[in-house]
Amino acid sequence: MTPATPSPSRPPVHIAAICGSLRGSESCTRKALGIATRTIEAEGASVDLIDLGRLDLPLRESRGDTDAHAGTAELKDRVARADSVLLGSPEYHSSFSGVLKNALDLLSRDEVGGKLFGLLGVSGGNTGAVNSLGHLRYVVRGVGGWSLPAQVSIANAWKAFDGDRLADPELQARIESFARELVRFTRLYKMQPEFEEGLIQVIDRNR
């Protein structure tokens, strides 16, 4: 795939992808995020894959208690620089992972408020990560974000991958189209102030 070139009508966008599994390169969540991030880059956007296991994050205690921590500062900085956020989580006991919840608790509306979120979940069982995805929607609302309606759920993760791709071509295509949609809406959302201003000018001219 040839990367799409940024242009005035196609502004550069930057996406933070947070992996909610600590299993590094063995993680199916990480592999799924890899498919999404490669597609995001092919669409001409930049992406920062945040591996929570490498950040040495503290557990969240109370408001303001962790702001001086280097790991928290790095997480906040990397997420603040992003135009939108892609969250990937394994299904743990019918919800998303505690490590991802802790990371979201360390963030505030300053870094994520008003941003778009794409949601991707991975499960060992055959019902998929629907609980993780549903619970993440609540939490994204809680931090003042906007979840895209489209989402990806990968069931039977232990046998779903063939190398760095999904064995099922339809699921592979779904994750790629989900990633393209995230880039598309991130761009539209970034351009929204210009759209609004342009629209107001057209309406005013025709009054």
- Which residues contribute to the site for ligand FMN (CB under 6 A)? 21, 23, 27-29, 90-94, 122-125, 157
Query: Are the C-beta atoms of 183 and 4 separated by less than 8 Å?
Result: no
CB of residue 158 to ligand FMN, shortest distance in Å: 6
Pick 66 or 97: Cβ nearer ligand FMN: 97
Q: Shortest Cβ distance from residue 18 to ligand FMN (Å)?
A: 12
Tell me if 119 sits within 8 A of 36, measured CB to CB: no
Q: Between residues 45 and 175, which has the closer beta carbon with respect to ligand FMN?
A: 175
Return the amino acid letter for 52: L
Residue 53 or 58 having the CB closest to ligand FMN:
53
Instruction: State the minimum distance, in angstroms, from the CB of residue 157 to ligand FMN.
Output: 4
Cα–Cα distance measured from residue 188 to residue 167, given in angstroms and rounded to the nearest whole number: 32
List of residues 6+ apart from 196 with CB closer than 8 A: none
Q: How far is the CB of 137 from ligand FMN (least distance, A)?
A: 18
Per-residue 3-state assignment (H helix, E strand, C coil) for 177-192: HHHHHHHHHHHHHHHH
**What is the distance between the alpha carbons of residues 41 and 61, in angstroms, rounded to a whole number?**
36
Which one, 44 or 88, has the nearer CB to ligand FMN? Answer: 88
